Structure 1
Amino acid sequence: MLEDKDFIKSCDVPGPTKEAIRAIILYKSDVKAGDKVVDVGCGTGGITCEFAQRAESVTSIDINPEAIEMTQKNLKKFGLGDNVTLICNDGAEALKDIDNMDIAIVGGSGKKLEDILDLVDSRLNSKGRIIITAILVDTKVEAVNKLKELNYNPQIMEVNISKGRVLDRGIMMMSENPIAIITAKKR
């Protein structure tokens, strides 16, 4: 696993997704060496970098040009990227040109989550997996409802990671952003 502290960051680009969250996402994805992965809303590229080490190919999409630039910098820093395609575009638009995916990770949808999930469903291989990360309650509800509508059996877990900080009088636990990880497999 790549360490959070090693990523190049920007105050204008979200991420990277915290290390413990990336570990859960990798585990839940059941990624294999031959898998084709799509990362929608790649931000600084934390998830892209992890999957680039494990999958056959990764296509990373973000509408923010600075996010694509940050992802490129992080890929380069970690000696990755030969199997990564970066696309600066709206997720729903970019997905129209992508077929044959094994894993789709949706971390940013620009208020087009339902459209993105419709496109992912139509392009996902027969045993494909979808992973959605969501912070907003509304996004969690929207994702679960849409996956049910598409005939998936979504699973949802709420993850709260806290790290300890040693003080003179004890240890203070500092919470990092709580996030839901919603997973579903194609039936």
Structure 2
Amino acid sequence: MIEDNDFITSCEVPGPSKENIRAILLYKSMVSSNDIVVDIGCGTGGITVEFAKKAKKVISIDKNPEAIKLTKKNLEKFNIKNVELIENDGLTGLNNIENIDIAIVGGSGNQLDEILKKVDSKLNSNGRIFITAILLDTKLEAIDYLKNLGYNPKIVEVNISNGRVLDRGVMMISENPIGIISAKKR
């Protein structure tokens, strides 16, 4: 795993997703060298980079041109070549993608329902969907949308605290809790 500090970042672009979240996503997705992964709302490219190290191909979508530039810089920094970058909103960016084995939605621009419908139509059998969410509303919406599409979604709430060693002891500093909603196509 790449440490958070090793990514090129900017105040204008969220990310990268924290190292522990990337590790959980990699583990839960069971990504393999045969998989085509789509990262919707790629931000600085943390998830893109980690998945590209294991997948056949990653297609990363973000409507923010700065996010695409940062993801490209991180891909170059870590010598990753199997990634296609699409500068567009998630819904439009999915139009020319035919086959998806794993879809990760980190940003949906208030189009989560439509994005999940489109992902579902392009997801191969046994394909997996993962949605990372901070807002409770997004978590509930994601579960409802997936259920309406015939999935049996699961959710895990991840609360991570990192220790900071002080002269007198260790202080635990918590990160924002993140919900990871997952579903597998039958």
Superposition TM-score, scaled by structure 1 size = 0.98
1:87 partner amino acid: I
Whole-angstrom CA distance in 2 between matches of 1:160 and 1:8: 25
Whole-angstrom CA distance in 2 between matches of 1:166 and 1:47: 28
**Between the two proteins, what is the percent identity of the paired residues?**
68
Aligned to 1:84: 83
- The Cα of 1:79 is off from its aligned counterpart by 0.8
Aligned to 1:109: 108
Aligned to 1:60: 60
What are the within-5 Å matches in structure 2 for residues 6-155 of structure 1?
6-80=6-80, 82-155=81-154
Query: Which string of whole-angstrom CA distances, capped at 9 and with x for unpartnered residues, describes residues 132-163 of structure 1?
Result: 00000110000000000001010100001111
Whole-angstrom CA distance in 1 between matches of 2:170 and 2:116: 42
How many residues get paired?
186
1:7 partner amino acid: F
Aligned to 2:164: 165
Whole-angstrom CA distance in 1 between matches of 2:86 and 2:94: 10
- The Cα of 1:35 is off from its aligned counterpart by 0.3
- The Cα of 1:176 is off from its aligned counterpart by 1.3
Query: Which string of whole-angstrom CA distances, capped at 9 and with x for unpartnered residues, describes residues 89-126 of structure 1?
Result: 01001112111110000000000000000000000001
Whole-angstrom CA distance in 2 between matches of 1:162 and 1:106: 24
Gaps of 5+ in 1: none
Query: Which string of whole-angstrom CA distances, capped at 9 and with x for unpartnered residues, describes residues 18-53 of structure 1?
Result: 000000000111101010000000000000000110
Between 34-43 and 160-169, report the one with greater CA deviation: 160-169
1:186 partner amino acid: K
Whole-angstrom CA distance in 1 between matches of 2:168 and 2:156: 34
SS at match of 2:42: coil
Superposition TM-score, scaled by structure 2 size = 0.99
SS at match of 2:28: helix
1:65 partner amino acid: P
RMSD of aligned residue pairs (Cα, Å): 0.6
Moved segments of 4+, more than 4 Å: none
- The Cα of 1:168 is off from its aligned counterpart by 2.2
Gaps of 5+ in 2: none
SS at match of 2:129: strand
